[in-house]
Structure 1
Amino acid sequence: MGGDEGGDERHEGAGSEVKYSAVLIAGPTASGKSALAVTLAQRFGGVVVNADSMQVYRDLSIITARPTLAEMGEVPHRLYGHIDGAVNHSAAAYAAEVTTLLQELTGQGALPVLVGGTGLYFKALTEGLSEIPPVPEEVRTAFRAWAAERETGALHAELAGKDPGMAARLRPSDRLRVMRALEVLQATGRSLASFQGARRPGPLAGRELLKLFLAPERELVRARIDERLDAMMAQGALAEVAALRERRLDPLLPVMRAHGVPGLIAYLDGGLSLDEAVVRGKADTRAYAKRQMTWFRHQMEGWTAAAPEAALGVALAACRAPNAD
């Protein structure tokens, strides 16, 4: 992972040779990714590295299904719960963290096992990111004050008038991305689309990678999502969200939009019953899982899809591990 020969590195663990520089495990939420990552890390002397954009936040452990301290004690875990919720942690910042971490793990001879459901994180690592200049804070503050007084449809119409090509790429209801396009246009005078063609290489570009996508049956995912949110509520998710609410953070921050959070905050504000908040959280998470499946099928080439129950066998066979079925 360091130097020009990174793609040819071998990792030794549990007496087995692994022919990959890293293992990448993606898939929809509640598909069993984390358990597979731990098993492979144990098998090959690896380190589990987070690739989920919500599990980076310190404020939320329960409602983001972050591994517990006991689970993280089984094998080393990195990049979990290390970012304050007041920070808008970007894919670029994540890629920079992984770049540094890969150098560290190379020195240790440890196999990185990157696991999560954030497609953009994996793209940042394998394909790189566009060179978009940072938006000055004064521009961002003024723009967000202006945008706060306007409905999402009006913002999309504004974008369509100024940058019709970019507007055509975005759903009129996708407030965050519409705002991002307008913000970049205002700060740079250029369309966001003009930056998206030029990319700097990602830290895993050109390396030999095992890329697995867990593809469970849709009904199984739906059932697991519902069961998991019920379990989260029993484990204290409401108290966790209440503590986050007390911070009075910008509602556009990623941590404030984690699945389940908006509904529970609406309950705490008196806008929904608790049952309604839980139903909303389940529906939002199911919709997100569907988008994750679509994203990886259309955006991420070169990944091996496997049913969760077969994924371990696929991974072991690919790694040429002994005793693989």
Structure 2
Amino acid sequence: MRTAPAILIHGPTASGKTDLSIALAKELDGEIINADAMQVYKDLSVLSARPSAEEIAQAPHHMFGHVDGAERYSTGLWLKDACAQIEDIRRRGKVPILAGGTGLYLSALVHGLSKVPDVPEEIKREVLAKVEADRAAAHAELARVDADAAARIKPLDIQRLTRALEVYYHTGKPITSFQTPEPAFLKQNEWVGFALTPIRKELYARIEARFDRMLETGAPDEARILFERKLPADLPIMRAHGMPGFCEFFEEKVSLEEAIERGKRDTRRYAKRQFTWIAHQFPTWTRIPSKCVEVRKKVICSIHHAIDAAN
């Protein structure tokens, strides 16, 4: 049985991936698979901007809120779960729609997963702080320890620069020594990728407004419940945007206003890194700058139908 290509949607946080994926699922008889590293956790529905119960009722959703916060859910685990979902959706003649802001997830799906060791969260934070403080100096350091990686990675590519340095800090070996990927699950003609690229100033305003809505819909209470579980601070879930600031507030180290501002700032910075990822890691993906769901849907459906017919 011929199967339609899977649709992959990446975009910065607050760019409207949820509304778009639901619209596509309705139009194409598709099912949605989560590709966001924080929306997998059942402990965070508000702070991760996970689709609401009303949104989930509009189309089949998979891999949202299925992981306990105490688990270190990795790219490898996501890939295993996502591949199983894709196979099941295709077997039933539906279109898999993978949407989320974690570019590494989608990259692993279509390019293969490199066998790079997991890096402790403490090292990740240390390296990210160093890169954000002085990208030129960080790139020069990478050139000293991994000239091959430095030749491929530009100083402005914060995400790849950080990844290369953190692997070296953790293993003492260059990241290039680990970068022979396993075969990709989705072959070239089995998927089509789209990147949402809204105007940054407008996106940052959306981020601010969404965080304010989160405060009104229970984010502080959700954060406190998670905080009271006393989970290790280096778990991925404890680094969700908003959590570090709220934890400091609960520990009476900062005011609520300071915690909120940190949450907004961290989210804006993350969005900036996501734009960089799109530019450097998904150069051939179709860009969709429009913020209109109908326009986005028409663009994707048109290209998807053309590729499906060509197959």
**TM-score bracket for the superposition, by shorter chain length:** 0.7 to 0.9
2:268 — aligned with what?
286
Match of 1:200, SS state, is coil
**1:165 aligned onto 2:146:** yes
Distance in 2, matches of 1:236 and 1:48, equals 26
Q: Does 1:205 align with 2:172?
A: no
Is 1:240 the equivalent of 2:222? Answer: yes
Match of 2:175 among 175, 180, 192: 192
Structure 2 match to 1:308: 291
The question of 1:46 aligning with 2:30 is answered yes
Residue 181 of structure 1 aligns with an amino acid whose one-letter code is Y
Q: Please name the residue that 2:115 is paired with.
A: 131
Residue 181 of structure 1 aligns with which residue? 168
Amino acid at match of 2:170: E
1:193 shift after superposition: 2.7
Write out per-residue CA displacement over residues 242-292 of structure 1, whole angstroms, 9 at most, x where no aligned residue.
Answer: 111112222121111111111111111111111111111111111111111
Q: 1:55 to 1:87 in 2, by over 3 A?
A: same
Q: In the aligned structure 2, how far is the partner of 1:259 from the partner of 1:28?
A: 13
Partners in 2 of 1:147 and 1:320 — Cα distance?
A: 41
Amino acid corresponding to residue 72 of structure 1 in structure 2? I
Q: Give 2:256's aligned residue.
A: 274
Match of 2:94 in 1: 110
CA distance, structure 2, for counterparts of residue 255 and residue 275 of structure 1: 22
The letter of the residue matching 1:308 is: K
Distance 1:120 1:49 in 2: 15
Matched with 2:85 is 101
Aligned with 1:86: secondary structure?
coil
State TM-score, norm by structure 1: 0.79
Shift of 1:178: 5.0
Say whether the 8 Å CA contact 2:193–2:286 is kept in structure 1: yes
Secondary structure class of the residue paired with 1:80: coil
- What's the counterpart of residue 20 of structure 2? 36
Alignment check: 8 A CA contact 1:95 1:202 kept? no
1:181 Cα deviation after fit: 3.5
Instruction: Say how many residue pairs are matched.
Output: 289
Structure 2 distance, partners of 1:120, 1:319, is: 23
- Structure 2 CA distance, aligned partners of 1:109 and 1:48? 14
State the Cα distance separating 1:177 from its structure 2 match: 7.1
Q: In structure 1, what is the Cα distance between the partners aligned to 2:68 and 2:285?
A: 32
Kept after mapping to 1: 8 A contact 2:42/2:69: yes
The 1:266–1:133 alpha-carbon spacing in structure 2 relative to 1, beyond 3 Å, is: closer
Q: Secondary structure at the match of 2:188?
A: coil
Q: In structure 2, how many angstroms separate the alpha carbons of the residues matched to 1:264 and 1:292? A: 23
For residues 175 and 196 of structure 2, the distance between their equivalents in structure 1, rounded to whole angstroms, comes to 32
1:184, CA displacement in angstroms?
A: 3.2
How far apart are the structure 2 equivalents of 1:79 and 1:35?
Answer: 17
**Equivalent-residue separation in structure 1 for 2:223 and 2:186 (angstroms):** 35
CA change 1:148–1:55 in 2 (3 A) is closer
**8 A contact 2:22–2:32 mirrored in 1:** yes
Q: Over residues 222-255 of structure 1, what are the superposed CA-to-partner deviations in whole Å (9 max), with x where a residue is unaligned?
A: 1110010000011110111111111222212111
Query: C-alpha deviations, 1:196-224, integer Å up to 9, x for none?
Result: 2x001222132332211111111110111
Shift of 1:26: 1.0
Point out the structure with the larger helix share: 2
Cα distance change on mapping 1:27 and 1:229 into 2, 3 Å: same
Change (3 A) 1:320 1:130: closer
Q: Structure 1: 5+ residue runs without aligned partners?
A: 11-19
| Partner residue in 2 for 1:255 | 237
Q: Secondary structure at the match of 2:284?
A: coil
Larger-Rg structure:
1
Contact preservation (8 Å) 1:128, 1:201: yes
- Paired-residue identity, %: 39
Residues 1:79 and 2:60 aligned together: no
User: What SS does the corresponding residue of 1:23 show, helix, strand or coil?
Assistant: strand
Distance 1:35 1:126 in 2: 24
